[in-house]
Every structure is written in structure tokens, then in C-alpha cells.
Amino acid sequence: MGCLAGVLIATGRVAIVPRKLFAVALAAFLVAAVLALPVLRRLLSSWESNPVLRGRLVAERSGCFNCHLAISGDEIPNPGSRWGSVPRFAAGNAMMYVDGRQDIEEFIRFGAPRSWMSDAGVRERLATQHLRMPGYEDRLSEDEIRDLVTYVEAIENPALPGALPGDSAAAGRELAKRHGCLACHGVEGSGGLPNPGSLGGFIPGFVGRNFGDLVQDKAEFREWVLDGESSRLGANPLLRFFWRRQQISMPAYRQRLTSAEVDSLWLWVAWIRDR
């Protein structure tokens, strides 16, 4: 009996498992888990998908960031243009160029809103400025254009419908920006930014389907924010293994946020998920 490793409960009977058989079964399980990891990561990545995240990926591969999010951090000079530079995403000056979602879409499709093109003076200026926004209507699908518009609209920080400055949802968004939440969780909580060593290979956001598995209710959200983890998920050995290996871990904000501020964050997350 000294060579026996453990017991299995099957059909109401206790079966004794030899040590070698147990070791072989364990090894087979580990190999299967390793082989299944790429499939699991693709599944988690598909669940994370949302219009803002997809729009960011369209912007990356379409070259939008080359001009609108230049690596220098400054706006690119554009002699001859109205303001003398190419507008930078999230610089707070969107109102000088666009008036709503329709203008954003026409910039992407045609290189400028149709209302601009009906003005002879504007047409002349666009023709003489050094850099000119290209139109992407012939290069992007309708779904890609729609997702790209949603991303640009989100990164330009639109007002929350039904929420005035100082209201809880809007205050939650400002807290998220001030405490760096969007740097990891993505524009408007869209997620998908890389996290080497994590289970999915990315940092989850607040919009995709993965959020529902990670946060079951407001109480668990508070736990994540205040303690940097979930006690429910922390009881899972597989998740603890990846938590120890991942490059970026959720920080705890217990000493930095009040209970009311966490409530505001929750209302903002609820707003973007409903949206």
C-alpha cells in the first residue's frame, strides 16, 4: 500500500490509484492545459472585443496614430492649415474641428466634413496646406468605419448623456483619468492592452464579456478597487498561478479612494457598459 498515491471517488466507490498512474494522469493534464492555453487566450480575446477596442486596432493598422498620436507627444506642424498643426487625439481641442459624430465619420470617409467642402475658402486652404487628411472610404469596411468613429469619439472624451459635470458618473470618469485607470484599462475602459504572463495576455477592460466573469456585482468591484484582487477568484489555483506570473498587477486603492469615490467609479462603469 505504500506505493499508492491517492484516491478517486467514482460511482459511489473509492478507487485506489497507483502512484505511477496518478503521475501519468497529472502529466497528461498539464500537457493538455499548456496546449489549450493558446485556444483559451483567443477565446478570451474574442470576449474582450468591443467597438472602442476594435476601433483602436483599426486606427493602428490604418496609420492614424502616425499623425494624430505622434510619438513625440506634440502636435505635428502643418504649415498652411488653420491652426498650424495636425490635431492630436485627446488633446482637448476636438471642438475646433468637429461638431459631433457625423463630422468625425466624414473626416474618416472623405478627409473633411462635407460642410467644409461647400465653403470655397476652406477648400482653398485645404488644397494649400502641407499635410492633408486622406479619405478612407475605399479602404475600410462599413464596420471598420463605424468602430473607428466610436474610438475617436471615445478618446475625445465626449460628455456623458444625462450626466452633468459633478454628477456621479462623470465624476467617476474623472477619477479614473486622474488615478491612471485608463492607462491600463484602455480608452473609456475598452481594455485589451498587453499584459505579458497573464491568462489572456492582456489587461481586461470594463466593456467586454470578460468583465462579467471577473466582477459579479458592485461588492466584488469594490474589492478589486480597494484590495487589487477578488477573494472569490483568488481561491482558484490556476488564476493565482497566472496572477503571480503576470507583468502588470492591479494596485490597491484602499488608502487613496473614499467609499463615495468608489461608488462614482462603479456608476461610470455601469454607464459605459449600458452604452
pLDDT digits (tens, 9 = 90+) for 110-145: 999 998 888 898 888 888 999 999 999 999 999 999
Measured CA to CA, the distance from residue 12 to residue 228 in angstroms comes to 41
Tell me the C-alpha distance between 85 and 76, whole Å.
5
Q: Per the structure, how many domains does the chain have? A: 3
Domain that holds residue 118: 50-158
User: How far does the chain reach from its first CA to its final CA, in angstroms?
Assistant: 62
Q: In this structure, are 88 and 178 located in the same domain?
A: no
* Cβ-contact 242, 197 below 8 angstroms: yes
Q: How confident is the model at residue 2 (pLDDT cuts 50, 70, 90)?
A: very low
Q: Do 154 and 255 fall into the same domain?
A: no
- Are 168 and 123 in contact by the 8 Å Cβ rule? The answer is no
Residue 7: pLDDT over 50 = no
Highest mean pLDDT among 18-27, 93-102, 244-253: 244-253
5 has pLDDT over 60: no
- How confident is the model over 205-234, as pLDDT tens digits? 999 999 999 999 999 999 999 999 999 999
Rounded CA-CA distance 53/155 in Å is: 11
Bin 162: left if φ > 0, else alpha if -120 < ψ < 50, else beta. left
Which domain CATH number covers 118?
1.10.760
**pTM recorded for the entire structure:** 0.79
Pair (154, 164) in one structural domain: no
The pLDDT tens digits of the residues spanning 135-174 come to: 999 999 999 999 999 999 999 877 666 665 567 888 999 9
DSSP assignment letter at 77: B
Non-local CB neighbours of 143 within 8 Å, separated by 6+ positions:
none
269: domain CATH number is 1.10.760.10
Q: pLDDT confidence of 3, banded at 50, 70, 90?
A: very low
* Helix-, strand-, coil-residue percentages of the chain, each rounded to 5: 55, 5, 40
Are 8 and 90 within one domain? Answer: no
Paired residues of 193 in beta bridges: 203
> pLDDT of 40-96, one tens digit each?
888 889 999 999 999 999 999 999 999 998 887 889 999 999 889 999 998 888 888
